[in-house]
Chain A
Amino acid sequence: MPAATATIDVSALYALHGDWLKAWLRRHTRCAHRASDLTHDTFCRILEGADTAPIRDGRNYLATIARRLVIDEARRAKVEAAFLDAYHALMDGAAEPGPDRIAEAVSELLAITRALHELPDKARRAYLLSRIEGWNHADIAEELGVSKSMVKQYVAKGYARCYAVTYGAPRDRAPAG
């Protein structure tokens, strides 16, 4: 058997390791329901081709993807907690937001968060101060201790990152002909 194959036989992988992965995730999340969801997500990730690393060891491969999903989950929990804190701070005394409202907001915020995480610290702050606080570039430059032209570059970088996360990284066109 070759050590690495270009295509991944997902159904074989599922038959061999699906139950093991569910058990693995149950141990690491301590919740059977989430373990099932994450098992499902892991195989979806493979089908989407987001992970095309050669498989040397099916279990290690699955565990690597599943682990990343567990970390994503932790990030999601952090975003959700911050959202609820913000909600209660602003809507003092209002009723809890409904589950749909939370789910919608968190998934949107996660997409933005993913883009922001990829920016260097100052670029992230410059972009946020511009876009959510509506500060002008001169104030941002003073706050961050950089030049105004630097702020402009940071904001442009922020735009470009959000674009890539929402629409996929832009690709160069194949030369015509």
Chain B
Amino acid sequence: MRSLMEHRAIEPRQDNSEPTPDIVKRAAEWLAHLESDDADDADWAGFEAWRSEHSAHELAIERLGGLGERLRGGSEVERETLRRLFLRPRRRMGGALLAVTVLGGVGWLATTRPEVQLYFADERTAVGEMRSVTLADGSRVVLSTDSAADVGQNGGRSVRLLRGELLAEVAHQGPTPFVVQTRDGTAEALGTAFTVRKDAEATLVTVVSSHVRACPAKSAGTNCLTLAPGERARLKGDEAIRLDPVSPSDAAAWSEGWLPVEDRALGDVLAELNRWRSGPIRFDAAALSTQRVSGMFPLRDTDQALANLARSQPIAIDRSDPASPIVRLRVK
């Protein structure tokens, strides 16, 4: 299907015929308006007048129109691919969520799901599991390994993380703020994506994109920090402490099944892999403390991750118990 493939040749143009952001925005609004049913003859006349006003307007319309046609005029296989990637999975999840919302009084949850009764959590993941939940407002929450959360409280924009870690992708700004809460504090979305991780002692908030306001639980709304992409805060008691920033793309790499590691202690990395394993890797953190690791490790196959580590680190793996290998420093 060639038409989808052929990008319009971009000829060198006079500088002032190159559309500015405002022109592109206006042109996109025109096209969206014209394809709605509200457009009347006066609108079409207005559009034609705007379009012929300036060569940059003309070019923006021409390019945007071409892009729209690439999708609509493309082959059915490409359209079906996009449906499979973006439209279908969402709808299925939305349906599942609706069922829980309709049936989901505490009584129902308590009688039908004993593990929920135990933890009072709407959503739980087992060790090594990861699950995506779409909320009623279109926001998405991805629960990491061994995590539990109550989702969709307060009109759907409040999540209570009971344990483990989650990635929140906030659909849009609404009248109600989107908040993730733990015992240690709250993270309120001022934008789109961030992760919250609840450990035994404290809660770690990391921003993937846009901004988040992080507040410790016991400070009555003071001591809050506003975090930018890659910035992290540790919440505990009445304190919010700013930690060293990380790469924003790394912050949520686990949700794609990867553990990015940049110059970290080997013991830390093994502990991180253990969060995804039911049979832990056994090791002596002190003995491994001098080894530093960089790399990218698959979380869906932590045995493979361990094998990768063994190739770059002077370690020996004892697999006499395959479910729970032992890692030792190799003696030279």
Other A-B contacts than A131-B71, A170-B21, A171-B18, 7 sampled, CB-CB below 8 A, are: A60-B263, A67-B296, A105-B5, A108-B78, A128-B82, A159-B64, A170-B20
Chain B CB within 8 A of A55 CB: no
A121 touches B21 (CB 8 A): no
How many Å lie between the Cα of A153 and that of B71 in the bound state? 19
Interface string of A68-112 (1 = CB under 8 A from B): 101100100011001101110111000000000000110011001
Distance from A27 Cβ to chain B, minimum over Cβ atoms (Å): 6
What chain A residues lie within 8 Å of B85 (beta carbons)?
Answer: 78-79, 82, 113
Number of interface residues of B (CB under 8 A): 70
Interface residue? A177 (CB, 8 A): no
Chain B residues within 8 Å of A, Cβ to Cβ: 1, 4-5, 7, 10, 15-16, 18-25, 27-29, 31-33, 35-38, 60, 63-64, 67-68, 70-72, 76-87, 90, 134, 138-140, 169, 171-172, 192, 247, 249-250, 253, 256-258, 260, 262-263, 294-296, 308, 311-312
Interface residue? A129 (CB, 8 A): yes
Asked if A148 is at the interface of the complex by the 8 Å CB criterion, the answer is yes
Check A28 against B78 for contact (C-beta < 8 Å). no
* Bound form: Cα–Cα A47–B76 in Å: 37
Q: How many residues of chain A have a CB within 8 Å of chain B?
A: 65
Tell whether, in the assembled complex, residue B172 and residue A109 are in contact, meaning their CB atoms are under 8 Å apart. Answer: no
Q: Is the CB of A148 within 8 A of B36?
A: yes
Asked if B20 and A89 sit within 8 Å, CB to CB, the answer is: no
For residue A22, CB closer than 8 A to chain B, the reply is no
In the complex, A35 has a CB within 8 A of chain B: no
Interface string of A151-175 (1 = CB under 8 A from B): 1110111011011101101111100
Task: Pick the residue among A28, A90, A124, A170 that contacts B77 (CB under 8 A).
Answer: A90
**A163 touching B24 by the CB < 8 A rule?**
yes
Asked if B32 and A152 make an inter-chain contact with CB atoms under 8 angstroms apart, the answer reads yes
